[in-house]
Chain A
């Protein structure tokens, strides 16, 4: 598993979290699982690294944590986007998409036959 997975580029974790929470409020474990599953297990987040990132996003006022009950009746800390967080999510998703697009184009471009 480790051989095929990709190490996360620095700074991308935040945008992944924001995008994930854009769907609904989730607890940390659910976030890590969502990212793992949606990337086809390709993106390997070192699972613990998620938590300091969550705390920092909360400190910046982009997300808000609140203890609540899971579907199985267990207490977990759920995070949700704040208004600021939603704005930041849209901007970052746009930026990253354009960045990845541009990267992809450059990486796949071939010199024109002249």
Chain B
């Protein structure tokens, strides 16, 4: 049949069964009439007779239409089902015939899809899922902006101004991040995270307690009845999940308070809080001047107000204060979306994670596509025969796609298992690296994403091979024998896939190579102290130590006992721990200079701190036990501060005062020495000006200190002795003993996390690329066994044969390398901010990675190609 009618081959003519019936009956009438005409009837009579012979046309037509419509409805469904069943059976049989192929496909898919499901689950949980508060988009965090544009925490009087004057915010709360405090009254003394927050925090967050209530208005004034609200986790773990809160009394530090409410499980603000204490209970006025920036803030934008409008209004308020009050250095206010702030720096890391996993999937897809192409070639004869037996091409394509889809779904199921493991590993390894990580799980969204991904993947890697496999003319395919085809077009497709794979793997490898180099550079930084051979013991005093002398006495005793322990070389206490804790800052001024002239970090430590940390003393002396309360106040400064604020002059012997950090901040203290800089905020942040105060002279902030112990042997071996030494002084002291090394190690967590993930993905991509190249070359060799044999028989040496087989693939690899290098040069800019002392175009990394890939590719070519050189001419000629 050269040309077929529009309707030919269709089951239905026209759009509906009614039309189909109409056309069929018309055809009958026409034919009948013509027959009668041929029999000698005249036209009008013939038509009349045909109608008579037919019977009742309208009744018959309606009867036919009824049956046909019913049939069309049911048959559509059953036919589809039965064809689907057929396709599935066919696919299963086909895969069972080539189990190695099937296994390789499924593992590749599981890697590709699993990586993406995990990445999506993490990005969805951390970045996309809304914060668990009402209308979270309206929540903002506020920071004071200094003249230099820096973000500072907020001073209480500034907070009070903003709260009282704002029209753009419907509520504004202040809080102090959770600090570890000894809490009594639960099942046992525990170190719990206690956050102090203004009582309206819960109103601003718009969250209701799961049990009991939050703070009542009369509890929101200084001196009110002390009450606390606890987290769901604390309530379950330490209060036995009791539902009658009436007589649950907690002693949190110095405060004894009644528990009035339990927050719902998802509420975690400030992060990690176990117990919320109303800040207003204490006299806020005593908490500060405008230079003591001790508070963080959170606000809720008023209905219909944008974040920019609020920022303008608050900045105007801050500027007015700045002009009026000499001690306010805030010239504006910076507002951030709360989610933005919560997620912060991890956004980029997570998006890179998502991008890297997408790369892996694309590499996986190219591998699968190339494997399917090879398989289609192997099966071309079978397909051609089926086509010649009348199978429709569309039907064949559908069958091949069903097979791809089946593979993709099995791969996706395996991938979900892998994703589950990955997520578990990540949530265990990285909670310090990425906030909200505990909220990540395989939920409906992830399942939906995975299914979509599986379908898209199947279509991506299955379509081209299916189309190609079914375009072969039956004659060509059958002529080519069992080995299938190796037409130039197919070789071109393979070359393209190899090039793409190499390019993608190269980009991933360069990305992780750059991060690795940065990481190495970071480990080369001298942090200004020695982290090894040290224990860091967080100590929280019970609330009974309510005056400075008592606290000092406790630590004096503690240090005396610990220093006496065998194996202890040196010990000290400190308020803050470099690379671990928050580094508070405040204004200071030098005697004779302008008031509030400088801004520096302050650190409260005991004598022996610099010796224990092995931080170098540059000039002067460090603290001694003679620097006690009542003795002249002394202070140490770091090198950066000496350089920045005392240019030219000798700071030693000069006096300075430290403003609002505590009630003694307005007395001058004498600078007695200069110490080396210590990396504090992060290992790669340049050192900032800082001064050190002696804990015996500044006792207001020392309820929670960290005891540092330098040991001669294994640090943790001393843990029991230190624990009993602390308990011997006061049994109600809570503590946490770890090595300094492990605590500082956590500050590398985010970087290590990104490096790990990217490195892992790059490795997977490299392996996949190698497998892909290997597959392409092996099937090339298999198809050309005969040719190779003949060449060998004609005396070509092994090198010549190798060249013949490998040339094309290595050309593709080279093209892929060039494309990959060019693309990487553009893409590495995206991770420039994560690099340290490493250029985004670092030639060493680029060259090393390109060489690594080239070597891998050559190996993947060499193995199958060498097999070809060993083919004996006779075998080759017999082949086919």
Q: Give the B-binding residues of A (Cβ under 8 A).
A: 27-29, 32-33, 46-49, 51-52, 55-56, 58-59, 64-69, 74-77
Checking A48, A64, A65 against B55 with a beta-carbon cut-off of 8 angstroms, the contacting residue is A48
Contact A29 B71 (CB under 8 A): no
Contact A52 B60 (CB under 8 A): yes
Chain A residue, CB-CB nearest to B74 = A59
Chain B residue, CB-CB nearest to A77 = B24
Contact A27 B27 (CB under 8 A): yes
Interface centre among B21, B57, B67 (most CB of A within 10 A): B67
What 15 new A-B contacts, CB under 8 Å, besides A67-B8, A67-B11, A69-B8? A27-B24, A28-B24, A28-B27, A46-B53, A46-B55, A47-B32, A48-B60, A49-B60, A52-B63, A58-B68, A65-B11, A75-B8, A77-B13, A77-B20, A77-B23
Contact B31 A66 (CB under 8 A): no
Residues of chain B lying within 8 A (CB to CB) of residue A48:
25, 54-57, 60
Residues of chain A lying within 8 A (CB to CB) of residue B13:
67, 75, 77
Can you list 26 A-B contacts (CB < 8 A)?
A: A27-B27, A29-B28, A32-B28, A33-B35, A46-B53, A48-B25, A49-B60, A51-B21, A51-B24, A55-B63, A55-B68, A55-B71, A58-B68, A58-B71, A59-B67, A59-B70, A64-B11, A67-B9, A69-B4, A69-B8, A75-B5, A75-B13, A75-B23, A76-B27, A77-B24, A77-B27
Chain B residue, CB-CB nearest to A55 = B67
Interface status of B487 (Cβ within 8 A of chain A): no
State the total of A-B contacts with C-beta under 8 angstroms. Answer: 84
Checking B4, B5, B11, B28 against A51 with a beta-carbon cut-off of 8 angstroms, the contacting residue is B28
Contact A59 B10 (CB under 8 A): no
Measured CB to CB, the closest approach of chain A to B377, in angstroms, equals 34
Residues of chain A lying within 8 A (CB to CB) of residue B688:
none
Chain B 16-45 interface 0/1 with A at a Cβ cutoff of 8 Å (1 = within): 000011011101100110010000000000
Q: If A29-B27, A48-B57 touch, does A75 touch B64 (CB 8 Å cutoff)?
A: no
Residues of chain B lying within 8 A (CB to CB) of residue A66:
9-11
Interface status of B794 (Cβ within 8 A of chain A): no
Residues of chain B lying within 8 A (CB to CB) of residue A75:
5, 7-8, 13, 23, 27
Interface status of B425 (Cβ within 8 A of chain A): no
Contact B10 A67 (CB under 8 A): yes
Contact A47 B54 (CB under 8 A): yes
For the complex, give the distance between the alpha carbons of A105 and B617 in Å: 131
Interface status of B389 (Cβ within 8 A of chain A): no
Measured CB to CB, the closest approach of chain B to A55, in angstroms, equals 4
Chain A residue, CB-CB nearest to B67 = A55
Contact B28 A47 (CB under 8 A): yes
Measured CB to CB, the closest approach of chain A to B31, in angstroms, equals 4
For the complex, give the distance between the alpha carbons of A51 and B27 in Å: 12
Measured CB to CB, the closest approach of chain A to B707, in angstroms, equals 86
Chain A residue, CB-CB nearest to B60 = A48
Residues of chain B lying within 8 A (CB to CB) of residue A27:
24, 27
Chain B residue, CB-CB nearest to A74 = B27
Residues of chain A lying within 8 A (CB to CB) of residue B68:
55, 58
Residues of chain A lying within 8 A (CB to CB) of residue B525:
none
Measured CB to CB, the closest approach of chain B to A78, in angstroms, equals 10
For the complex, give the distance between the alpha carbons of A64 and B8 in Å: 14
Residues of chain B lying within 8 A (CB to CB) of residue A64:
11
Contact B5 A67 (CB under 8 A): yes
Interface size class of B (residues with CB under 8 A): 20 to 34
Interface centre among A28, A49, A51, A65 (most CB of B within 10 A): A51
Checking B5, B20, B71 against A59 with a beta-carbon cut-off of 8 angstroms, the contacting residue is B71
Chain B residue, CB-CB nearest to A56 = B67
Measured CB to CB, the closest approach of chain B to A71, in angstroms, equals 12
Contact A51 B8 (CB under 8 A): no
Contact B71 A51 (CB under 8 A): no
Measured CB to CB, the closest approach of chain A to B63, in angstroms, equals 4
Measured CB to CB, the closest approach of chain B to A27, in angstroms, equals 7
Chain B residue, CB-CB nearest to A59 = B71
Q: If A28-B28, A29-B27, A55-B71 touch, does A67 touch B7 (CB 8 Å cutoff)?
A: yes
Residues of chain B lying within 8 A (CB to CB) of residue A52:
60, 63-64, 67
Contact B9 A51 (CB under 8 A): no
Measured CB to CB, the closest approach of chain B to A99, in angstroms, equals 26
For the complex, give the distance between the alpha carbons of A67 and B27 in Å: 12
Interface status of B1 (Cβ within 8 A of chain A): yes
Q: If A76-B27, A77-B20, A77-B27 touch, does A47 touch B8 (CB 8 Å cutoff)?
A: no
Measured CB to CB, the closest approach of chain B to A84, in angstroms, equals 13
- B:474-529 near A, CB below 8 Å: none
For the complex, give the distance between the alpha carbons of A21 and B68 in Å: 19
For the complex, give the distance between the alpha carbons of A29 and B29 in Å: 9
Measured CB to CB, the closest approach of chain B to A88, in angstroms, equals 17
Residues of chain B lying within 8 A (CB to CB) of residue A55:
21, 63-64, 67-68, 71
Q: If A29-B31, A55-B64, A75-B5 touch, does A47 touch B71 (CB 8 Å cutoff)?
A: no
Measured CB to CB, the closest approach of chain A to B577, in angstroms, equals 81
For the complex, give the distance between the alpha carbons of A58 and B67 in Å: 9
Residues of chain B lying within 8 A (CB to CB) of residue A49:
55, 60
Residues of chain B lying within 8 A (CB to CB) of residue A68:
5, 8-9
Residues of chain A lying within 8 A (CB to CB) of residue B10:
66-67
For the complex, give the distance between the alpha carbons of A47 and B24 in Å: 13
For the complex, give the distance between the alpha carbons of A28 and B9 in Å: 17
Residues of chain B lying within 8 A (CB to CB) of residue A59:
67, 70-71
For the complex, give the distance between the alpha carbons of A69 and B28 in Å: 14
For the complex, give the distance between the alpha carbons of A91 and B706 in Å: 96
Measured CB to CB, the closest approach of chain A to B64, in angstroms, equals 5
Checking A51, A58, A65, A67 against B25 with a beta-carbon cut-off of 8 angstroms, the contacting residue is A51
For the complex, give the distance between the alpha carbons of A67 and B11 in Å: 6
For the complex, give the distance between the alpha carbons of A67 and B70 in Å: 19
For the complex, give the distance between the alpha carbons of A11 and B24 in Å: 23
- B:46-70 near A, CB below 8 Å: 53-57, 60, 63-64, 67-68, 70
Residues of chain A lying within 8 A (CB to CB) of residue B21:
51, 55
Chain B 238-269 interface 0/1 with A at a Cβ cutoff of 8 Å (1 = within): 00000000000000000000000000000000
Residues of chain A lying within 8 A (CB to CB) of residue B27:
27-29, 74-77
Residues of chain A lying within 8 A (CB to CB) of residue B64:
51-52, 55
Residues of chain B lying within 8 A (CB to CB) of residue A46:
53-55
Measured CB to CB, the closest approach of chain A to B517, in angstroms, equals 68
Residues of chain B lying within 8 A (CB to CB) of residue A67:
5, 7-13
Chain B residue, CB-CB nearest to A49 = B55
Chain A residue, CB-CB nearest to B27 = A76
Residues of chain B lying within 8 A (CB to CB) of residue A74:
27
Residues of chain B lying within 8 A (CB to CB) of residue A69:
1, 4-5, 8
Measured CB to CB, the closest approach of chain B to A1, in angstroms, equals 10
Measured CB to CB, the closest approach of chain A to B485, in angstroms, equals 33
Q: If A49-B60, A69-B1 touch, does A29 touch B8 (CB 8 Å cutoff)?
A: no
For the complex, give the distance between the alpha carbons of A75 and B63 in Å: 22
Residues of chain B lying within 8 A (CB to CB) of residue A76:
24, 27
For the complex, give the distance between the alpha carbons of A48 and B10 in Å: 23
Measured CB to CB, the closest approach of chain A to B134, in angstroms, equals 59
For the complex, give the distance between the alpha carbons of A77 and B25 in Å: 10
Measured CB to CB, the closest approach of chain A to B72, in angstroms, equals 10
Measured CB to CB, the closest approach of chain B to A73, in angstroms, equals 8
Q: State the 6 A-B residue pairs at the shortest beta-carbon distance, nearest first.
A: A48-B55, A55-B67, A48-B60, A48-B54, A59-B71, A67-B7
Interface centre among A28, A49, A65 (most CB of B within 10 A): A65
- B:680-718 near A, CB below 8 Å: none
For the complex, give the distance between the alpha carbons of A33 and B35 in Å: 10
Q: If A47-B53, A51-B25, A51-B60 touch, does A29 touch B9 (CB 8 Å cutoff)?
A: no
Residues of chain A lying within 8 A (CB to CB) of residue B9:
66-68
For the complex, give the distance between the alpha carbons of A48 and B26 in Å: 11
- B:327-343 near A, CB below 8 Å: none
For the complex, give the distance between the alpha carbons of A68 and B23 in Å: 13
Measured CB to CB, the closest approach of chain A to B399, in angstroms, equals 21
For the complex, give the distance between the alpha carbons of A29 and B35 in Å: 11
